[in-house]
């Protein structure tokens, strides 16, 4: 006998559908390991006491599983609550940053509007000066033309030439 075979494994399948994985690889805890110390009758059929031991082990596994599920459920609820809290904080922070960016954008738009209005005002002032200068120049030409016309009329009177239209 080798050292590894000191503890004899007996796998009991309890209420398991036909194709169950080999013992030790079953993920649903349907296979329960019994050692030689639990069973004194190694090659004999299972007795009521053996079945009672199996049922007791199954009951323990069920209660442990229920406790594990309850603990996982509680941890999951805590994790979800923590995630909700973090999400709310992140959302509030993002809203604050977005509001700050909105305010900065509105301020820049207002500054641009002010600069445009100042530029148009400056353009309007220079355009008004140019228009005034043109009108003054135009007035001076009209005055000079009127002066010339009056001189021509004086010369015509002296020569007695009839005015031609």
Dump pLDDT digits (tens) for 106-155: 999 999 999 999 999 999 999 999 999 999 999 999 999 999 999 988 88
Check if the beta carbon of residue 138 is closer than 8 Å to that of residue 144: no
Question: Using one digit for the tens of pLDDT, what is the confidence trace for 25-34?
Answer: 555 555 544 4
Residue 34, Cβ neighbours under 10 Å: how many? 17
Give the model's pLDDT for residue 22.
Answer: 55
* pTM score of the predicted model: 0.42
DSSP run (H or E) holding 79: helix 48-159
Q: Coil, strand or helix: which one is 46? A: coil
CA distance 84 to 63: 31
Please, which residues have CB within 8 angstroms of residue 140's CB and are 6 or more apart in sequence? none
Give the model's pLDDT for residue 21.
Answer: 54
Question: Using one digit for the tens of pLDDT, what is the confidence trace for 146-157?
Answer: 999 999 888 888
CA distance 33 to 8: 9
More confidently predicted of 160 and 165 = 160
More confidently predicted of 4 and 130 = 130
DSSP run (H or E) holding 11: strand 10-13
For the chain, give the mean pLDDT: 80
């Amino acid at each position: 006998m080798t050292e590894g075979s000191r503890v004899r494994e007996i796998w009991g399948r309890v209420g398991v559908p036909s194709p169950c994985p080999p013992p030790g690889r079953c993920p649903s805890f349907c296979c329960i390991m019994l050692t030689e110390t639990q069973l004194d009758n190694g090659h004999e059929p299972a007795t009521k006491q053996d079945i009672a031991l199996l049922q007791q082990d199954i009951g323990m596994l069920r209660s442990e599983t229920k406790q594990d599920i309850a603990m996982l459920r509680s941890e999951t609820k805590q994790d979800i609550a923590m995630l909700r809290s973090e999400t709310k904080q992140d959302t509030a922070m993002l809203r604050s940053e977005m509001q700050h960016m909105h305010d900065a954008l509105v301020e820049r738009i207002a500054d641009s509007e002010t600069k445009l209005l100042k530029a148009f005002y400056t353009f309007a002032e220079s355009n008004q000066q140019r228009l005034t200068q043109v009108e003054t120049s135009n007035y001076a030409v009209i005055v000079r033309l009127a002066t010339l016309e009056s001189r021509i009329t004086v010369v015509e009177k002296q020569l007695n030439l009839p005015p031609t239209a």
